[in-house]
Structure 1
Amino acid sequence: MYRLTALAAVVLLGACGPSRISLSVKSPPGTNLGRPMYMLVRQVDPKQYANEEYSEVASKVGSPDKSVLQTAVLYPGTIQRFQLRAPEEGSLAVSFLFTAPDGNWQLLLSPPIPTAVDVELTVSRIMSDSVPPAIPSEMPSAPAPKAPEAPKPPGA
């Protein structure tokens, strides 16, 4: 009986522990003008994330703080896959440090964090339709159905 109770406790604790996230990053050959670049994964507060500047995030590659969960060099013309541990609380920021960013260079993954994320990069930004919206209110909504037109009287 003791073994079954201990086994059940291990299973339950494991289920409550940090989960894993599969991150796949597709970098076509022209990404970052054909040069390698850094990716930085951090645990963030969404308010902090909204106010960060590129230079502030880029400085964490050389001097990581406790929020940095992973850094990696991405190579153009590749698909690279990473296994990340989800933070116990907070959100994840995935930042792509392009030489000359032109548009969205990072994304926010808020709880509940998905177990798999696919990101596709372009020359100098994240392809916008390759990642889920960071904020539910930014999710595309279906267009409102059009009201049927009233029938026109004959001869009108």
Structure 2
Amino acid sequence: MTELKHAHRLRTGRYSEPGQIYLLTAVVLNRQPLFHDFKSGRLVVDALKTAEQEGFATSLAWVVMPDHFHWLIELQNIQLPSLMARTKSRIAVTLNRSAGRQGPVWQHGYHDRAIRKEEDLQAVARYIVANPLRAGLVERVGDYPLWDAIWL
């Protein structure tokens, strides 16, 4: 219930700027591992790619974990709340249909962090794609199938 109690804080001061690079994170409701297998994880990947094809974001790096995803993007012709609402909705509808389930998939809101110009984007990308390694899911980053980065 804590995530709902403080969800309004995730929106406070949120500003969307086309051309700005953001690190976005969305978490599954109650941290259920809904993306624990390759097939369900690919539904997330497909939604991220669709957002890129629609011209809303340029994906720089991403990783799909069993209960959340991280997405490093350059924002294009959309506001962050709209991008995330569309992406999370697309994933929820597809996952529910595919798994024969109903109900919400995501915690309310999402986390975003604007990346400063002086930050090393490749270092941020390496941090993102190393999530499965830090979580103990694999022994080598290359063994985890649900990640990508334009530099790696």
Larger Rg: 1 or 2?
Answer: 1
TM-score category (smaller protein):
0.3 to 0.5
Q: TM-score, structure 1 length as denominator?
A: 0.32
Whichever structure has more strand as a proportion of its residues is 1
Give the TM-score, by structure 2 length: 0.33
Larger helix share, 1 or 2: 2
